[in-house]
Chain A
Amino acid sequence: MGQRLIYLDNNATTPTDPRVVDAMIPYFYENPGNAASRNHPFGWKAEGAVDTARNQIADLIAVDEREIIFTSGATESDNLAIKGVFEMYQRKGNHIITAKTEHKAVLDACAKVEKMGGQVTYLDVDRLGRIRLEELEAAITDKTVLVSIMWANNETGVIQDMKAIGDICAKHGVLFMSDATQIVGKLPCHPKEVGVHLMAFTSHKMYGPKGVGALFVNRKNPRVKVTSQMDGGGHERGMRSGTLNVPGIVGFGEAARIAKEEMHQDAERLSKLRDKLQHALCSMLEESYVNGDQEHRMPHVTNISFKHVEGEGLMMTFNQNIAVSSGSACTSASLEPSYVLVALGLGDDLAHSSLRFSLGRFTTEEDIDETIAKVAEGVNHMRDLSPIWEMYKEGVDIDAIEWSEH
């Protein structure tokens, strides 16, 4: 096509920062050691590199380095935390509380727990995407062992009131786990300050490589343990066996180091660009709605519904050079739109009409200007084609029509 490619899908994954790649390269060939090889320089070098990375990551989230368990990514960390706590604390109880807007890694791990004999409460969220604290507290029983609430949502960027949730969990003596995949490395995120005992996150959402993630497991007050889900050589304090991905971990560490230094300036710059994008689209295009809480939201994300336009079709008008994602599930075999947006109380029609824009460290103002122009053009084009837009313009009550199901 010869067109400049614009990447606004950073919540799916971020590009690896070139500085991270540079840090990783020596650990493929020059330093090939296994971090568990204790008896030769290759192993020592690898172990040293892993220690450095562990410190960098612990430093970013303000925890002790012994509280970092390396995994293959956030999905594995979520699984380890949820299933691992369920198995470890069976004598105490079998009840887990989570929310309907969680990532599938959490929801599906919870579904597995239900099959294993556990009970799971799935909390609703309010119109802005936040859980209601009184509902959380009311859901806690003497059988509750874990509350799992994501720090920031992947589709809307909405940030939960973590401190208040942590206080409720502490009051009832329940463990608090959080999937913090979307916030670590982008905003300050300190589990100990808010009473989070387990926290899942991953490298490839913070400009590190794919295939490496971590689970923070609180060591003191309370001392938390999880039953391993991967058995073998007893790596990572026995909680996660398997040879460590040394180059990946080195990259993850370097990404954490850079994030700690640069996240504030990144966040400030990106929130301005995000606001420009959101404001331009919402003022140029009538019947556009921002989904989720705009006050408690990640600085680089906006999720907008363009009424009477279907998201996937809309994306096709510009996806030769602009990458975003849609809450419409028309691409999958199911016709269900985003369950996250539906949980916010959006009608299926508005959920089908949504686009998620997620900016990142390498997004430029030029990218945003071009995106504004192309998306506005696409929405107008699709509305010209849309029979329900025409009906809306003629004043027809679309909700009153008896649509044929198919």
Chain B
Amino acid sequence: MAYSEKLLDHFKNPRNVGTLDKSSENVGTGLVGAPECGDVMRLQIEVDPTTQKITQAKFKTFGCGSAIASSSLATEWLKGKTVDEALAIDNMAIVEELALPPVKIHCSVLAEDAIKGAIKDYQQKHGVQTVETIAVH
């Protein structure tokens, strides 16, 4: 399977690998997937509570090259966005950007779930009622 240059770049030089303090008020953590399925993504955001802007995003992923690249790309996109803008990120945008082959679309779905999971976690810490429920795949 030939992967796109962008995907390979994110895989070889993943952006924003790391861990934020998950107990911090301003950090939201999304942990999705399962080791049995071969993919686990943990995506974390740090939000400035006054501006609602995402100031920091970090990830760690257990998974195939597409899963790693999808989460790396997601962290890049998240930084500087507001929480509402981040909620609008759609998995198909990741598919297009990385030219994911059809069998790898689930990796982008996982990344979208991880983003939503991280935002939900942040919002719950701040007493925000989350309307959106995460789709189960």
Q: Which residues of A contact B (CB under 8 A)?
A: 308-310, 312-313, 316, 328-333, 335, 337, 347-349, 352, 382, 384-390, 398, 403-406
In the complex formed, the residue of A with least CB distance to B103 is A333
Instruction: Establish whether residues B31 and A316, one from each chain, have CB atoms under 8 Å apart when the complex forms.
Output: no
Instruction: Establish whether residues B33 and A403, one from each chain, have CB atoms under 8 Å apart when the complex forms.
Output: yes
Q: Given A332, A335, A387, which contacts B62 in the complex, CB threshold below 8 Å? A: A387
Q: B80 within 8 Å of A by Cβ?
A: no
- With contacts A406-B32, A406-B113 taken as known, whether A352 is within 8 angstroms of B65 at the C-beta atoms is no
Q: Which residues of B contact A (CB under 8 A)?
A: 1, 11, 14, 17, 19, 31-42, 60-65, 67-68, 103, 106, 109-110, 113, 136-137
Residues of chain B lying within 8 A (CB to CB) of residue A389: 62
Q: Given A329, A384, A398, A406, which contacts B110 in the complex, CB threshold below 8 Å? A: A406
Instruction: Establish whether residues B39 and A310, one from each chain, have CB atoms under 8 Å apart when the complex forms.
Output: yes
Residues of chain A lying within 8 A (CB to CB) of residue B35: 308, 347-349, 352, 388, 398, 403
Residues of chain B lying within 8 A (CB to CB) of residue A386: 40, 60-62
CB of B44, distance to nearest CB on chain A (Å):
10
CB of B66, distance to nearest CB on chain A (Å):
8
Q: How far is the CA of A310 from the CA of B110 in the complex (A)?
A: 16
Closest 7 CB pairs of A and B: A403-B34, A349-B35, A348-B36, A387-B60, A387-B42, A316-B65, A352-B38
CB of A81, distance to nearest CB on chain B (Å):
33
Instruction: Establish whether residues B137 and A337, one from each chain, have CB atoms under 8 Å apart when the complex forms.
Output: no
Q: How far is the CA of A82 from the CA of B39 in the complex (A)?
A: 38
- With contacts A332-B103, A386-B60, A388-B62 taken as known, whether A313 is within 8 angstroms of B67 at the C-beta atoms is yes
CB of B40, distance to nearest CB on chain A (Å):
6
- Most chain-A CB neighbours within 10 Å: which of B17, B68, B109? B68
CB of A296, distance to nearest CB on chain B (Å):
29
CB of A350, distance to nearest CB on chain B (Å):
9
Residues of chain B lying within 8 A (CB to CB) of residue A335: 37-38, 106
CB of B136, distance to nearest CB on chain A (Å):
7
Residues of chain A lying within 8 A (CB to CB) of residue B63: 310, 313, 330
Query: Can you show 14 pairs from A to B with CB atoms below 8 A apart?
Result: A310-B67, A312-B38, A337-B38, A349-B35, A352-B35, A352-B36, A386-B40, A403-B34, A403-B35, A406-B37, A406-B39, A406-B109, A406-B113, A406-B137
